Structure 1
Amino acid sequence: MHYVTVEGLTKSYGAGPLFKDISFHIEEGDKIALVALNGHGKSTLLRILCGQESPDSGTVWIHKGVTVVMLEQQSFFKPGESILENIFAQDHPILKAIREYELLSEEEEPDVHKFTEAIEKMDELNAWHFDTKVKQILGKLNIHHLDQQVSTLSGGQQKRVALAKVLIDIGFEHRHTLLIMDEPTNHLDVSMIEWLENYLDQENVTLLLVTHDRYFLDSVCNEIMEIDQQKLFIYKGNYENFLEKKATRDEMDKASVEKARNTYRKELEWMRKQPKARTTKSKSRQDAFYDVKERASARLETQQLELNMKMTRLGGKILELKKVYKAFGDLTILKGFDYTFKKGERVGIVGKNGVGKSTFVNMLLGLEQPDSGKINVGETIVFGNYDQRGLIVKEDMRVIEFVKNIAENFPLADGSKVSAAQFLELFLFSPEKQYTYISKLSGGEKRRLHLLSILFRNPNFLVLDEPTNDLDLPTLSILEDFLQSYPGCVIIVSHDRYFMDKIVDHLFVFEGAGEVRDFPGNYSQYREWEKDRSEREKEESKNPPVEVKPVVQEKKVETPAAPVRKMSFKEKRELELLEKEIADLENEKKSIDSQLAGGTIPYDQLEPLSRRVGEVIKLLDEKGMRWLELSEG
């Protein structure tokens, strides 16, 4: 079934259009991700499809049998009403029956007569199946106490309530629904995100979404639409395929622009020589000249962030925690936590919402004090704290002014400098955008500017609390490139699995009740380990060990088995690094062997290569023995 047709759509804000003359179709069962830089029209396009905004030109046709349901980034509720009243706001008999039944269920001693009537109504409307589905959605999104007013909820809790409302709306009666979602994974922990992935797949909905979560995008979507330079590009397949096709397109664009610039230089010379009187032939050539000029003036926005930054030197002492305890009432966050940070360490912090991750980070920064124990910060440490409060500006100013108020230049390790304007361009703020007032930026652009302002201060210990929320995919790629070459320490609190896999060395897993596990690996490895552990526990609960009474026999003297020694974190990390080093050495040996066997090496290179192959063999022996020692425990 054909759901949506968009033809010739154009929308402008301020000086230039967000997008111009774009067209596309949405068919039943499509699952499409919309990708673009922040401030380039993603949310505007979604609002146009929902009828909340009008285009400057073009048409949007939606099949009369299709209902459009949207989850926005900003949640809107009736503040004086409860969670339940907001979720079941639709005036429909089934929803009204469920609302009445659930309200009575929340009471400690409900009126027996009313409760009986509510049950009878549920029976009459055959609403029990849908009530079970509602309970599953609310439970998975950790939404309880349905009589609580939404005005008392945090921003993250309100986002989960809004998501629950949307999922309940699409599941309840609309057979043909276009579900539009703007950053649906914000404020969800990983178990919720994985559940949502499965739910959207099973419900077989038609979906158009904006997301920064690349694993979620890959799992849910089968098509990607990109708004770039006011045009729309469509790619079938997953995110990896999108990156490959986009790279190819960028190369073709680059070649096309370069060709147009060469033509433009020739035509410009011809135009300057033209007399004022125009013939028909020269007029057509002059018209063609302006077309070439437009193509030659095209901006190629793609930038690579290659900053070998000059960072404040890290001393021998970085950050040390000794027997740290912290609790809020009955909630224990840390229970005798010990850890000493090392140079260049990259730690991910994960755990369910409400277990104390942000409190832990605030203690490291000195914003909160532990109940007992010591947190010693090295004298050379300069923290860069990117938190969820966002950008704080005392008065409205232009983007370039805001950055220059921090510093005029960014120092590099080779002694050179990058100006504030150049640094802004590296983070995808065009020269035109740099002179925009901060109040005119989109929410995502403000997040990007906030992040840039933290990095521009040149800290040597970065603390990033949910840095990927509301950032577009190109900016995330830039941030990842920056962090991979960043020489300082990094702590990241994030539910973005792709981002964590790419950046962190190991994890602090907050398991609750003050327990923090130091896991030697990335996020995906931890999730696999956790699933294996969960399956083992299920198997053990199904098949409890049978107690066998010992048979009385003549006593034998046996040598007690040596206790199995558990590897320390340091040894686990050494084992991982050894595997990589051994693989690299084996590849190097193969390369040298093939060069020596080829017989084409100049004489002056023969001796050094022969000497090096001996060194490689010796290193392989040493590292192989050490790997054997560690792996056998």
Structure 2
Amino acid sequence: MAHLLGAEALHLEYPTKVVFDSVSLGVNEGDRIGIVGRNGDGKSSLLAMLAGRRMPDSGRVTVRGGIRIGVLDQEDMLDDDHTVAQVVVGDTAEHEWAGDARVRDVIAGLLGDIPWEARIGSLSGGQRRRVALAALLAGDWDVLALDEPTNHLDVEAITWLAQHLKRRWSTNSGGLLVVTHDRWFLDEICTATWEVHDRVVEPFDGGYAAYILQRVERDRMAAATEAKRQNLARKELAWLRRGAPARTSKPKFRIDAANALIEDVPPIRDSVSLKALAVSRLGKEVVDLVDASVSYPVEAGDGLSGGDSASDDARADAERKTVLRDVEWRIAPGERTGILGVNGAGKSTLLGLVAGTVQPTDGRVKRGKTVKVASLTQRLDELEQHLGDPVRVVLARLRTTYTLGSGSKAQELTPGQMLERLGFSSAQLSTPVKDLSGGQKRRLQLLLILLDQPNVLILDEPTNDLDTDMLAAMEDLLDSWPGTLIVVSHDRYFIERVTDQQYAILDSRLRHLPGGVDEYLKLRTLQEQRDAGRKNDGGGSGSGLVSTGSTSGGGSAGGADSGSDSASASGAAGLQGAALRDAQKEVASIERRIAKLTERIDTEQTALAEHDQGDYEGLLTKTDAIGSLQLEASALEERWFELTELIG
């Protein structure tokens, strides 16, 4: 394979730290390289040197003549006065960029919900990120260097980006360098992984799963000082083998070697013990949402003025936006649930109902008497009062011990030991909170919440600012936490790793996802196709190329209700008489079949949890059987969608 760029004897240091010492490496045609490592070890600096954005203190970077390198920085440099169109396509004539299939794909994939003529200064941080990414991907590059490209992207946009990068170049052409903490994304697109640590860059073959396997092998041969990282990596590997069949099917993942490495690793979570302890702490009632709906009045500009008060009240009632509709969710003690949905779908509102900060406009929310809810939000409010204090002083005001696990496996840990598990060194205990990095503040915030001993924990985007090692440490801590866990995250790996089931908010309703994230993505695709069909049937003017086909999920899922009356009318007109009755019968039959499949899947998953964890062949057989049932259920759900659209 032809050489694209290389680095020879790179040396980089700051006044108090040597970042790299004599690092040599290269990128060839067809390489798709993920760069991982702890925060502060030099991942972004390495990317900047290879892309020519930063000069090393010594050594050199060589680039083959004519090679074009495109770079996505962590912070965008967009001009607030420019429009989205100017940033993405510049002065290129519309007929030229509209005739480029790649540009059309990028616009549809990332900018479908962003007005084409909007000023950059009027956009949110997430929208600006997508515009910057779209501007880069619309260009023609031989090498792409992406620094945290999945930041501010939801699950759908991340899935789209992975597919785009996989098909952007042919197999043996182009080069990709990506720094990201999104482990699913790494595993999906990368053929090699570089780990940045201790002044060096260590290469591994394959994506994240293969990297974890090789790192465990390396750690097995390492000195005893690597024992802590080894145990976390082995636990991660055990989950990759036991809990994610799609990953284990990759040829490069050596199943026999993995089985040998994890043969003495216990199950990731002792679900039976944790649920028993959760019941003892919570009782049998946690939070029940019964036919709960939430709507908000339309703000200024609704045109409600004049007339008698009765008609004004009627118009006011009509001018409301429904965020959640008829939510039926009975949360069980020890339940570990992930919530999916596009930005604006109502995830935060749902969390507010559970936490008690939002009241339903219809229906009711019932809470158990012993429920104590705590939320890890995207803000750092818990740290505001402690910013000037050293970490040691903050901890001294709290509990002296924390119990982790249950029964014979219970551990009494001091707050300092808890901090150590979350990656803090003893020296950092004297650091004022305001001087901690973003990732360190995030971990300290989680510790303060856990030390308050809640029994229902809500995590809203908990993976922000954390590297892959710290994510593994957080997951390890949550594995032993006995309580009800509810997670909202765009990090697919994290949500699959720490939760046992997933729900989605679609069309303002809460829907169970037996097939997990894959099922959610299929349902969103069907929803978008249905909405696009409604627009076309209604003959609306739309806004051309930019307004359709979005997979970024930036808009509210509640918007899918627009045009539903016309769709229902056309559907009812299309099926009449015997055909309509047959369709209704098939819908009823499908619903009964789905209910039976769901019950069977739950039974099989319970049996899987109780199965001998050392019987790998038996586990794989049961996992495959569950997967087949889930695929059958997904196919039935797709048919149900088709029929209900026809019936109206």
Q: Same fold (TM over 0.5)?
A: yes
Q: Residue 441 of structure 1: CA displacement?
A: 4.1
| Structure 2 counterpart of 1:370 | 360
Paired residues of 1:11 and 1:57 also in contact (CA < 8 A): yes
Opposite residue 184 of structure 2, the aligned amino acid is Y
Paired residues of 2:282 and 2:455 also in contact (CA < 8 A): yes
RMSD: 4.0
Q: Deviations over 1:184-232 (max 9, x none)?
A: 1222233322221121122224111112222221221100000123322
Equivalent residue in structure 2 for 1:463, among 458, 473, 485: 458
Equivalent residue in structure 1 for 2:114, among 137, 144, 168: 144
**CA shift in 2, pair 1:9/1:381, >3 Å:** farther
Q: Residue 299 of structure 1: CA displacement?
A: 9.2
2:313 pairs with 1:313 = no
Q: Residue 460 of structure 1: CA displacement?
A: 1.4
What is the CA–CA distance in structure 1 between the aligned matches of 2:416 and 2:373, rounded to whole Å?
A: 24
2:189 pairs with 1:220 = yes
What is the CA–CA distance in structure 2 between the aligned matches of 1:583 and 1:429, rounded to whole Å?
A: 36
**5 Å matches for 1:528-567?**
564=589, 566=591
Q: Residue 462 of structure 1: CA displacement?
A: 1.2
Q: Residue 549 of structure 1: CA displacement?
A: 9.3
Q: Which has the bigger relative contact order, CA under 8 A and spacing at least 6?
A: 2
Equivalent residue in structure 1 for 2:513, among 493, 516, 519: 519
> SS of 1:129's equivalent?
coil
What is the CA–CA distance in structure 1 between the aligned matches of 2:215 and 2:339, rounded to whole Å?
A: 33
Equivalent residue in structure 2 for 1:236, among 205, 221, 241: 205
Paired residues of 1:39 and 1:444 also in contact (CA < 8 A): no
Q: Deviations over 1:331-356 (max 9, x none)?
A: 42112222221111122211222211
Paired residues of 1:3 and 1:27 also in contact (CA < 8 A): yes
| Structure 2 counterpart of 1:208 | 177
Opposite residue 185 of structure 1, the aligned amino acid is T
Deviates most, 448-457 or 146-155: 448-457
**5 Å matches for 1:57-72?**
57-72=58-73
**5 Å matches for 1:432-581?**
432-512=427-507, 514-527=508-521, 564=589, 566=591, 574-580=599-605
Deviates most, 38-47 or 53-62: 53-62
> SS of 2:48's equivalent?
helix
| Structure 2 counterpart of 1:40 | 41
| Structure 2 counterpart of 1:352 | 342
What is the CA–CA distance in structure 1 between the aligned matches of 2:609 and 2:289, rounded to whole Å?
A: 36
Paired residues of 2:97 and 2:103 also in contact (CA < 8 A): no
> SS of 1:507's equivalent?
strand
What is the CA–CA distance in structure 2 between the aligned matches of 1:399 and 1:13, rounded to whole Å?
A: 25
What is the CA–CA distance in structure 2 between the aligned matches of 1:203 and 1:407, rounded to whole Å?
A: 53
What is the CA–CA distance in structure 1 between the aligned matches of 2:178 and 2:67, rounded to whole Å?
A: 17
Paired residues of 2:504 and 2:520 also in contact (CA < 8 A): no
What is the CA–CA distance in structure 2 between the aligned matches of 1:143 and 1:531, rounded to whole Å?
A: 15
> SS of 1:33's equivalent?
strand
| Structure 1 counterpart of 2:568 | none
> SS of 2:222's equivalent?
helix
What is the CA–CA distance in structure 2 between the aligned matches of 1:572 and 1:426, rounded to whole Å?
A: 41
> SS of 1:96's equivalent?
coil
**CA shift in 2, pair 1:387/1:469, >3 Å:** same
| Structure 1 counterpart of 2:311 | none
Paired residues of 2:7 and 2:24 also in contact (CA < 8 A): yes
Paired residues of 1:75 and 1:162 also in contact (CA < 8 A): yes
Q: Residue 143 of structure 1: CA displacement?
A: 4.3
**CA shift in 2, pair 1:549/1:242, >3 Å:** closer
Q: Deviations over 1:99-126 (max 9, x none)?
A: xx5xxxxxxxxxxxxxxxxxxxx5xxx5
Equivalent residue in structure 1 for 2:214, among 216, 226, 245: 245
What is the CA–CA distance in structure 2 between the aligned matches of 1:439 and 1:210, rounded to whole Å?
A: 26
| Structure 1 counterpart of 2:403 | 411
2:182 pairs with 1:182 = no
- How high is the sequence identity, in percent, across the aligned residues? 31
Opposite residue 235 of structure 1, the aligned amino acid is F
Q: Residue 378 of structure 1: CA displacement?
A: 2.6
Paired residues of 1:319 and 1:340 also in contact (CA < 8 A): yes
Q: Residue 319 of structure 1: CA displacement?
A: 0.9
| Structure 2 counterpart of 1:426 | 421
What is the CA–CA distance in structure 2 between the aligned matches of 1:45 and 1:68, rounded to whole Å?
A: 15
What is the CA–CA distance in structure 1 between the aligned matches of 2:219 and 2:497, rounded to whole Å?
A: 24
What is the CA–CA distance in structure 2 between the aligned matches of 1:509 and 1:298, rounded to whole Å?
A: 40
Opposite residue 46 of structure 2, the aligned amino acid is L
Paired residues of 1:303 and 1:426 also in contact (CA < 8 A): no
Q: Residue 318 of structure 1: CA displacement?
A: 1.2
2:384 pairs with 1:393 = yes
Paired residues of 2:156 and 2:521 also in contact (CA < 8 A): no
> SS of 1:79's equivalent?
coil
Unaligned runs of 5+ in 1: 89-94, 102-121, 259-296, 539-543, 551-559, 592-633
Opposite residue 166 of structure 1, the aligned amino acid is L
Rg larger in structure: 1
Paired residues of 2:189 and 2:207 also in contact (CA < 8 A): no
Paired residues of 2:338 and 2:503 also in contact (CA < 8 A): yes
Opposite residue 10 of structure 1, the aligned amino acid is H
> SS of 2:503's equivalent?
strand
> SS of 2:326's equivalent?
strand
Opposite residue 457 of structure 2, the aligned amino acid is L
Q: Residue 423 of structure 1: CA displacement?
A: 1.1
**CA shift in 2, pair 1:57/1:570, >3 Å:** farther
What is the CA–CA distance in structure 2 between the aligned matches of 1:547 and 1:562, rounded to whole Å?
A: 14
Equivalent residue in structure 2 for 1:167, among 137, 157, 174: 137
Opposite residue 127 of structure 2, the aligned amino acid is Q
Paired residues of 2:326 and 2:509 also in contact (CA < 8 A): no
Opposite residue 518 of structure 2, the aligned amino acid is S
**CA shift in 2, pair 1:223/1:398, >3 Å:** farther
What is the CA–CA distance in structure 2 between the aligned matches of 1:80 and 1:465, rounded to whole Å?
A: 32
What is the CA–CA distance in structure 1 between the aligned matches of 2:384 and 2:292, rounded to whole Å?
A: 35
> SS of 1:180's equivalent?
strand
What is the CA–CA distance in structure 2 between the aligned matches of 1:65 and 1:562, rounded to whole Å?
A: 59
What is the CA–CA distance in structure 2 between the aligned matches of 1:586 and 1:509, rounded to whole Å?
A: 29
What is the CA–CA distance in structure 2 between the aligned matches of 1:523 and 1:206, rounded to whole Å?
A: 29
Paired residues of 1:505 and 1:520 also in contact (CA < 8 A): no
Q: Residue 358 of structure 1: CA displacement?
A: 1.6
Q: Residue 78 of structure 1: CA displacement?
A: 1.9
**CA shift in 2, pair 1:548/1:84, >3 Å:** closer
Q: Residue 323 of structure 1: CA displacement?
A: 2.7
Paired residues of 1:500 and 1:523 also in contact (CA < 8 A): no
| Structure 1 counterpart of 2:625 | none
Paired residues of 1:39 and 1:442 also in contact (CA < 8 A): no
What is the CA–CA distance in structure 1 between the aligned matches of 2:324 and 2:286, rounded to whole Å?
A: 20
> SS of 2:184's equivalent?
helix
**CA shift in 2, pair 1:536/1:370, >3 Å:** closer
Q: Residue 537 of structure 1: CA displacement?
A: 13
What is the CA–CA distance in structure 1 between the aligned matches of 2:230 and 2:428, rounded to whole Å?
A: 15
Q: Residue 495 of structure 1: CA displacement?
A: 2.4
